Copies of this chain bind each other. A is one copy, B any other.
Amino acid sequence: MLVTKSTQTSPTSPGRVLGVLRAEGPLTRQELQERVGLSRVTMVERLDVLRRLGLVRASGHRESSGGRRAEVLEVNDTGRTALVADLGQSHATLAVTDLRGTVFARDDHRLPVRHSPQEVVPVLLDAGRDLLNRTDRADTLCAMALSVPGQIDHERGVTVAPPTMPDWNGKPLREPFAEAFGVPVLLENDANALALGDYYAMGRPDSALIGVKVGTGIGAGVVISGRIHRGESGSAGEIGHMRIEGSEQRCSCGRRGCVAASASGQALTRDLRSTGVRTLADVVRRVGEGRGDAVRAAAEAGRLVGTVVATMVTIVNPRYVRVGGAIGVLPPFLEALRRTVEANAHASALRNLDIEPSQLGENGAFVGLAGLVADEMLSPATVDAMVANLPPAQPERT
């Protein structure tokens, strides 16, 4: 049954007020008052509470209309700190950020190819502590977020069978970090984190957005109504290991004919091996240099992924498609993908469709994860809970 989650906080609680401010951008007290529907007296009280929690701040003034200028208020998304980590097949990147994704410190680790959680988690714990101490923000840490290249069981806080990382199947991830840092830990798939990053970077539009990530592997994330659509078993958007017709290419997941077996960075590296390519970075470099064989291979991969994205576009009818990952942002790949989508998708889904490379480069996942933390920590429910624990205002001792 579909249960209308009764957060049970009044529609004018401090948390809701912050929600309106978050959704409708910087506002003056009057504008905020109108939108929330509170009297001036009560709004003063709400803002006082939010200010004491460090959740709102002044961001300037409106032009005077003949008298005192109105102060413009905005959500303070730089006061609290998140520890975010982007875990890949062969690397882990950590960063200390604020809730809008500003990076204060980052740290790259190379990982062995077939690493296991037993090895990696302690490394990440140490690296996280280090990184926090390198900034002066450790005391404002409010949550951690982690992206992994695989599915996640959000209920249990556990990874689920990333086909190429068998050691990671069913390993608890939330728990060790939550214990070590004493804050909530959010987990997200890497493609979803990237999609969210681009979504947040666009200013949280009302429209749907599809993020496609083509790096070593292939994945996609679908943002609908401002949230990742996860689906029944948390695998929504996992397009890498669906099969395409007419391919019998063996895939690293053990099956044959997957999209990733023909169009991923791993596949390109394999296919170009005879031309001297050894790593994904080699592929990227050669495409950048305009080497014919590499460019052709990237374009063919773009076409293949494009056929899947065309179906995604037809089904979801999003406003934005953002393509990221080392391969995804290569112009020949993106061009072929774009052409294929335009040729194959439903005509009316192509109107207003905007296919662009991911805007965020290396920090894409960080912005997504930081935004995820922001949505969690600045949600009406969380804020109202903070308000409940706030010591009462001291009545100006004389």
A2's partner among B204, B240, B245, B352 (CB-CB below 8 A) is B204
Q: Is A296 positioned at the interface, with any CB of B under 8 Å from its CB?
A: no
Chain B positions within 8 Å of A4 at CB level: 16, 19-20, 23
A241 vs chain B, min Cβ distance (A): 5
The segment from A5-13, A52-60, A141-149, A384-392 that touches chain B is: A5-13
How many chain A residues sit at the interface, stated as a range, is 35 or more
Q: Cβ of A36 < 8 Å from any Cβ of B?
A: yes
A120 CB–B CB distance under 8 Å: no
Complex-state Cα separation, A308 to B311, whole angstroms: 7
1/0 per residue, CB under 8 A from B, across A343-372: the answer is: 111111101110000000000000000000
Stretch at the interface among A66-74, A132-140, A171-179, A231-239: A231-239
CA distance A147 to B37 in the complex (A): 38
- Point out the residues of chain B lying under 8 angstroms from A7, CB to CB: 11
CB pair A233–B352 under 8 Å, yes or no, is: yes
User: Judging by beta carbons under 8 Å apart, are B20 and A1 in contact?
Assistant: no
How many whole Å from A9's CB to the nearest CB in chain B? 8
Shortest CB-to-CB span from A251 to chain B, Å, is 11
Are A11 and B2 closer than 8 Å at their CB atoms?
no
Q: Are A6 and B11 in contact (CB under 8 A)?
A: yes
Please, which residues of chain B bring their CB within 8 A of the CB of A240? 346
Bound: A304/B272 CA distance, A: 33
Q: Shortest distance in angstroms between A249's beta carbon and chain B's nearest beta carbon?
A: 14
Q: Count this chain's copies in the assembly.
A: 2
Residue pair B239, A349 in contact (C-beta under 8 Å)? no
Cβ of A382 within 8 Å of any chain B Cβ, yes or no, is no
What is the CA–CA distance of A261 and B59 in the complex, to the nearest angstrom?
A: 57
Q: Which of A8, A225, A237, A348 has the most CB of B within 10 A?
A: A348
Tell me the bound Cα distance from A35 to B1 in angstroms.
15
Q: Is B315 a contact of A236 with CB atoms below 8 Å?
A: yes
Contact A161 B348 (CB under 8 A): yes
Which of B207, B242, B307, B317 contacts A245, CB < 8 Å?
Answer: B307
- Contact indicator B236/A204 (Cβ below 8 Å): no
Residue pair A208, B231 in contact (C-beta under 8 Å): yes
**Is A317's CB under 8 angstroms from B11's CB?**
no
Name the residue on B nearest A222 (C-beta).
B315
Interface assignment of A29: CB less than 8 Å from any CB of chain B? no
> Smallest CB-CB separation from A320: which chain B residue?
B232
Taking Cβ atoms with an 8 Å cutoff, the residues of A that contact B are 1-4, 6-11, 16, 19-20, 23-25, 35-37, 151, 160-161, 203-208, 220, 222, 224-226, 229-245, 255, 307-308, 310-312, 314-319, 343-349, 351-353
Q: What are 27 residue pairs bridging A and B, where the CB atoms are less than 8 Å apart in the complex?
A: A1-B24, A1-B204, A2-B204, A2-B205, A2-B225, A2-B226, A6-B37, A9-B11, A160-B348, A161-B348, A208-B231, A224-B229, A231-B318, A233-B349, A235-B314, A235-B317, A236-B315, A236-B349, A237-B314, A238-B346, A241-B347, A242-B345, A244-B344, A245-B307, A308-B311, A312-B315, A315-B315
Beyond the given pairs A3-B23, A222-B316, A241-B347, 11 more chain A to chain B contacts, judged by CB atoms under 8 angstroms and listed by A's residue number, are A4-B19, A4-B23, A208-B231, A232-B317, A233-B317, A236-B349, A237-B314, A237-B317, A244-B344, A245-B307, A311-B311
**4 nearest interchain CB pairs?**
A231-B317, A236-B317, A311-B311, A235-B348
